[in-house]
């Protein structure tokens, strides 16, 4: 039987002040069944001991990291800073496929092997999600997402650390997105919407392969659903980005009740 030449995979880890979780995240990559990987680690000017922790980890001969650090933090919003971190990390990535990993999350040991098997079986796949295991302090909950693509609505999708991409397409798309125009939108939203609506290339695998930590100081903690001003501002940005994308691709805009209600609420109270 002909031996399959496995392609290189790049795992991009983005970090800001998550030093206590770095060991778990990094070792979850190096302990993968799929071994042909590189890690590009981007630190966004952490003020904790993240970089010291990295130096300690690198004493392990098994750990080989390409470490990038932010020289100038924009500070507009956390999503903008993460988007910049990923763009810079992509420019240093050599892998044919890219796996995202937030530094407080970690992978199941079979994740890359299983997801890469799907990419190699279906050469047309450009984005594959796996399912998340929500990790709380004292319990774990498996959440199930279904891949439903709608013509003028954003899809429901797993979090950033569940996203894996074919690199060439990802680089092209990221360079097309004006992410500073919508500073509260996270990279997973931009990409999920673009791949679903524009590329019609959106697949959610059934396996639970990513541990997604639920922390009180996470980026999403200020976006309390229905209850915070920031959540409604972000929702308005989501509709604006969606409709801009639909217009550019000559598709019907979203004019739902939800859309108009969000506009009214933002104008009255924000």
Residue 227, Cβ neighbours under 10 Å: how many?
A: 9
- Comparing 123-127, 149-153, 207-211, the range with the smallest average pLDDT is 149-153
pTM for the full predicted model:
0.94
The first and second tokens of residue 217, run together, are: 């100081």
| Residue 3, pLDDT above cutoff 70 | no
- Asked if 115 and 29 count as a contact pair (C-beta separation under 8 A), the reply is no
170-196 pLDDT, tens per residue?
A: 999 999 998 889 999 999 999 999 999
Ordered DSSP codes for 120-166: HH-TT--EEEEEEEEE-SS-EEE--------SSSPPP---GGGEEEE
- Asked if 55 and 27 count as a contact pair (C-beta separation under 8 A), the reply is no
Please state the rounded mean pLDDT for residues 4-22.
93
- Asked if 40 and 11 count as a contact pair (C-beta separation under 8 A), the reply is yes
Query: CA–CA separation, 265 vs 203, rounded Å?
Result: 34
* Residue 196 burial class via C-beta count within 10 angstroms: exposed 0-12, middle 13-18, buried 19 and up: buried
The first and second tokens of residue 213, run together, are: 């930590």
Query: CA–CA separation, 7 vs 254, rounded Å?
Result: 40
215-230 pLDDT, tens per residue?
A: 887 777 778 887 889 9
Q: Give the CA distances from residue 172 to residues 99, 169, 176, in Å, rounded to whole numbers and listed in that order.
A: 16, 5, 7
At 75 the pLDDT is: 65
């Amino acid at each position: 039987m002909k031996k399959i030449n496995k392609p290189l995979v790049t795992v991009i880890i983005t970090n800001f002040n998550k030093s206590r979780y770095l060991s778990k995240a990094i070792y979850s990559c190096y302990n993968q069944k799929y071994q042909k990987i590189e890690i590009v680690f981007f630190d966004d000017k952490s003020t904790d001991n993240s970089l010291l922790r990295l130096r300690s980890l690198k004493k392990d001969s098994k750990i080989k990291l390409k470490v990038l650090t932010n020289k100038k933090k924009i500070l507009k919003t956390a999503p903008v800073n993460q988007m910049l971190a990923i763009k810079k990390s992509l420019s240093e990535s050599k892998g044919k496929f890219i796996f995202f990993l937030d530094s407080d999350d970690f992978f199941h040991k079979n994740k890359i092997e299983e997801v890469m098997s799907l990419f190699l079986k279906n050469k047309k796949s450009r984005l594959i999600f796996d399912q998340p295991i929500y990790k709380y302090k004292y319990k774990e909950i498996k959440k199930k997402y279904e891949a439903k693509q709608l013509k003028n609505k954003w899809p429901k999708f797993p979090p950033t650390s569940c996203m894996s991409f074919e690199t060439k397409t990802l680089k092209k798309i990221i360079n097309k997105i004006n992410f500073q125009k919508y500073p509260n939108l996270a990279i997973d939203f931009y990409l999920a919407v673009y791949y679903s609506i524009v590329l019609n290339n959106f697949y959610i695998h059934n396996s639970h392969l990513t541990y997604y930590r639920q922390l009180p100081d996470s980026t999403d903690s200020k976006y309390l659903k229905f209850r915070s001003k920031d959540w409604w501002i972000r929702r308005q940005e989501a509709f604006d980005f969606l409709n801009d994308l639909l217009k550019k691709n000559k598709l019907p805009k979203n004019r739902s009740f939800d859309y108009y209600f969000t506009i009214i609420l933002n104008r009255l109270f924000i």
